[in-house]
Amino acid sequence: MQQGAYYVVERPDFIARFLIGNDRPETAPEADVHVELADGTTRYVTFYTLPAIDEVLRRHQKTGEAAGSAYFWSTDLVIVPEPGVPAMTRAIEELVRSGDIESACQMIPRSGSDD
């Protein structure tokens, strides 16, 4: 469901807020996501598909960014095999279920907190 700039997915274990820009939720090749967990903590994750990374590398080659496409990086990067919020949501479900979200995704400190 759309809430302002965010596309929001709610599950029993988390609420995910996707920033997908002008992309459609079904086809978004990348997204920045805040995942609020049941324990009240929030994690940050950036999703990309491999074709989306390839597109960035090609653009960098043309623009000269990142030493002319010598590398690609993104904080808290998780690569998904297919585009779209449904695929990204499945990845979040597994990250939460397995506990890997704690290693793969940084915690966003609460306002006024030293966490």
Burial class (CB in 10 A: 0-12, 13-18, 19+), 77: middle
Predicted confidence (pLDDT) per residue in 59-71, tens digit: 999 999 999 999 9
- The string of pLDDT tens digits covering residues 52-95 is 999 999 999 999 999 999 999 988 999 999 999 999 999 999 99
At 10 the pLDDT is 98
Residues 59/65, Cβ–Cβ less than 8 Å: yes
* pLDDT at residue 43 in the model: 98
**Which pLDDT does position 110 carry in this prediction?**
84
User: Do residues 97 and 105 make contact, with C-beta atoms less than 8 angstroms apart?
Assistant: no
List 95's β-bridge partners, or say none. Answer: none
The model's pLDDT over 15-34, given as tens digits with 9 standing for 90+, comes to 999 999 999 999 999 999 99
Instruction: Identify which has the larger pLDDT, 111 or 24.
Output: 24
